């Protein structure tokens, strides 16, 4: 059963006033709030278990190591990886993508090689690949999208024929909410023998992920967008790829033997985890996963869809509104602009009414260029949001639009 009141009790941060108005938090695509169980887990670690891992023979170190490796197994099970060693803990999506871009560069990128992305990528899934291929006089191949924010799969197929070394695509766009047909796109890329990275930053909190079913070669995500602490996230990679790719960072933990002449590297997953990891946050991530799993995910998905549909329906009445992203298959968020009103002004005014949304380019400047706009107002939902909050938000937008006209 899905009780919104019980859920909200676990998020004390939501129960506050800003500018003497009840807070309506609709900036969940940027980061979600954290439930008490996650906060408690991290606190407990520092209260009772804090220790560096994998190194000590003593009790605390072994306990912390076991807990950290247990968290890895929980992540692996959550996204249905075959083995825990396919999960690399990172600081989040950005670090996972930088790891992959660097590692691929050393593994196989040569003069003039390309990487294929889409027109709706977050800068995190654009700049690391761009910088990497440009160092070798290659370029990004970009799958275009239509006016609704749907990718052109015919063009995708043509671009695959140009032989990019890697395909890296968002599962869900953080600006448009489009759910991309990643399973189909992965199968298409594999016909040309090209590995595929899925940026799951916006999907993992909202939809069950099965990396084996998707058959993606890599899947990257951030903990803080799925009710876990900041500073932790992950990279899933098929074992055969992780074995082949060279390490990203160097230092302690990721080595096997070291001499002044030569270093050999540790086995998976440690080969990719140089230095002391964020153990407390990894345990918080595990608890966040358990929190998500304790709920009926079907019900949660339906609830979030109802919030989205209601927001779109009510906003549609506003004169001069233009939705940015109208794909039939979409999730989690609504982006829009209103004729003659700068998104920043609108966001600033509704903030004073207690409503937290994001305004601007959402770290996806090429998407703004594509639609010929300076930015959007983006409201993004999470499982603790309510229909009443949607109403408050829509009324605030209507009021602000009137004031600004």
Catalytic residues: 363
Does 170 bind ligand PLP (CB under 6 A)? Our answer is yes
Q: How far is the CB of 205 from ligand PLP (least distance, A)?
A: 11
Contact residue for ligand PLP among 75, 76, 92, 113 (CB under 6 A) = 92
Report, in Å, the least distance between residue 175 CB and ligand PLP.
8
Which residues, other chains included, contact 237 with Cβ-Cβ below 8 Å and sequence gap of 6+? 86, 88, 217, 218, 245
Instruction: Give just the sign of the alpha carbon dihedral 300, 306, 311, 312.
Output: positive
**Kind plus residue range of the DSSP H or E element containing 142:** strand 140-143
Among the listed residues 201, 216, 274, 315, the single contact to ligand PLP using CB under 6 A: 201
Give the shortest CB-285-to-ligand PLP separation in angstroms.
13
Q: Give the residue with the Cβ less far from ligand PLP, 54 or 123.
A: 123
100 lies in the binding site for ligand PLP (CB under 6 A): no
Q: Site for ligand PLP (CB under 6 A): which residue of 114, 202, 287, 376?
A: 202
**94 belongs to the binding site for ligand PLP (CB under 6 A):** yes
Q: Does 199 bind ligand PLP (CB under 6 A)?
A: yes
Q: Please state the closest distance from residue 336 (CB atom) to ligand PLP, in A.
A: 18
Closest approach, Cβ 400 to ligand PLP, in A, equals: 24
Q: Do β-strands 263-265 and 255-258 pair in parallel, antiparallel, or remain unpaired?
A: antiparallel
Q: Where are the beta strands (DSSP E) in 157-266?
A: 166-170, 196-199, 218-222, 233-237, 255-258, 263-265
Q: Between 102 and 222, whose beta carbon lies closer to ligand PLP?
A: 222
The residue among 92, 89, 96 whose CA lies nearest residue 277 is 89
d(CA 176, CA 335) in angstroms, rounded, equals: 6
Collapsed DSSP state (helix, strand, coil) of residue 335 = strand
Q: Which is nearer to ligand PLP, 67 or 219 (CB)?
A: 219
Identify the residue among 114, 118, 174, 180 touching ligand PLP (CB under 6 A).
174
Q: Is position 203 an interface residue for ligand PLP (rule: CB under 6 A)?
A: no
Site string (115-154) toward ligand PLP, x via CB under 6 A: -------x-xx-----------------------------
- Percentages of the chain per state (helix, strand, coil), in multiples of 5: 45, 20, 40
Taking residue 314's Cβ as centre, other Cβ atoms within 10 Å add up to 16
Q: What are phi and psi of 55, to 5 degrees?
A: -120, -30
If the CB atoms of residues 94 and 278 are measured against ligand PLP, the closer one turns out to be 94
Q: Of 223 and 354, which has the nearer Cβ to ligand PLP? A: 223
Question: How many residues at the interface with ligand PLP, by CB under 6 A?
Answer: 12
CB-side exposure of 100: number of CA atoms within 13 Å? 34
Closer Cβ to ligand PLP, 25 or 53, answer by number: 25
Whether 98 and 128 have beta carbons less than 8 Å apart is answered as yes
User: Where do we find the tokens 């964020």?
Assistant: 278
> Contact positions toward ligand PLP, by CB under 6 A?
92-94, 122, 124-125, 170, 174, 199, 201-202, 222
């Amino acid at each position: 059963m899905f009780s919104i009141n019980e859920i909200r009790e676990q998020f004390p941060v939501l129960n506050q006033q800003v500018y003497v108005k009840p807070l309506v938090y609709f900036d969940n695509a940027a980061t979600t709030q954290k439930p008490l169980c996650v906060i408690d887990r991290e606190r407990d670690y520092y209260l009772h278990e804090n220790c560096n891992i994998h190194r000590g023979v003593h009790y605390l170190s072994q306990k912390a190591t076991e807990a950290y490796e247990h968290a890895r197994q929980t992540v692996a099970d959550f996204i249905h990886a075959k083995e825990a060693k396919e999960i690399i803990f990172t600081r989040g999506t950005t670090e996972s993508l930088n790891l992959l871009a660097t590692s691929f560069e050393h593994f196989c990128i040569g003069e003039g090689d390309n990487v294929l992305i889409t027109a709706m990528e977050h800068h995190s899934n654009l700049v690391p690949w761009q910088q990497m291929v440009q160092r070798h006089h290659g370029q990004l191949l970009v799958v275009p999208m239509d006016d609704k924010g749907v990718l052109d799969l015919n063009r995708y197929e043509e671009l695959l024929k140009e032989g990019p070394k890697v395909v890296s695509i968002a599962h869900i766009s953080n600006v448009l909410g489009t759910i991309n047909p990643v399973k189909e796109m992965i199968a298409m890329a594999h016909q040309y023998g090209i590995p595929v990275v899925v940026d799951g930053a916006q999907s993992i909190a909202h939809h069950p992920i099965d990396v084996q079913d998707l058959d993606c070669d890599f899947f990257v995500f951030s903990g803080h967008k799925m009710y876990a602490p900041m500073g932790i996230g992950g990279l899933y990679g098929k074992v055969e790829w992780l074995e082949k790719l060279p390490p990203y960072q160097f230092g302690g933990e990721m080595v096997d033997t070291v001499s002044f002449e030569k270093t050999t590297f540790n086995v998976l997953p440690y080969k990719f985890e140089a230095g002391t990891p964020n153990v407390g946050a990894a345990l918080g991530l595990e608890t966040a996963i358990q929190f998500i799993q304790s709920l009926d995910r079907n019900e949660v998905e339906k609830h979030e869809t109802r919030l989205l549909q209601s927001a779109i329906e009510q906003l549609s009445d506003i004169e001069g509104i233009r939705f940015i992203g109208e794909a039939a298959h979409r999730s989690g968020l609504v982006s829009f602009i209103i004729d003659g009103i700068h998104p920043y002004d609108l966001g600033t005014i509704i903030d004073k009414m207690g409503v937290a949304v994001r305004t601007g380019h959402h770290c996806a400047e090429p998407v703004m260029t594509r639609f010929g706009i300076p930015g959007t107002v983006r409201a993004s939902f999470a499982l603790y949001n309510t229909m009443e909050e949607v109403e408050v938000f829509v009324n605030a937008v209507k009021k602000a639009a009137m004031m600004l006209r």
